[in-house]
Amino acid sequence: MRWIITADHIGTNSHGVGDDENGKRVQTFVTAGDPLSYDFRLYDDDGNLYYEGRTNDINEDEERAFAPLDWARYKAGCTYMTYRQHGLHNTEWLEL
């Protein structure tokens, strides 16, 4: 599952960090026409937003869906993740 950090709210220089389709860590950016159909947010246990990002189908593989959270847990102590379909700004964020 491909994912990319699109916003780093805590200054860890992580914008563009993510995984490619094979799970390999890469430094990349979202481009026009990218099939990253879900937005996600990563928070610490106090509810502070640390990172935002994009990913492809978050439902395709349960284990890989947590890859951004696993990375953020190690990087900054994030404990939970929310998501919604990209472009639907008036929809509720769901917890993964």
CB neighbour class for 29 (10 Å; exposed up to 12, middle 13-18, buried from 19): exposed
Other Cβ atoms less than 10 A from the Cβ of 19: the count is: 19
Per-residue pLDDT tens over the stretch 64-95: 889 999 999 999 999 999 999 888 878 899 89
Q: For the segment 17-40, what is each residue's pLDDT rounded down to a tens digit? A: 999 888 899 998 887 777 888 999
Cα angle 58, 9, 85; round to 5: 25
Tell me the pTM. 0.90
Helix (H) or strand (E) holding 3: strand 3-8
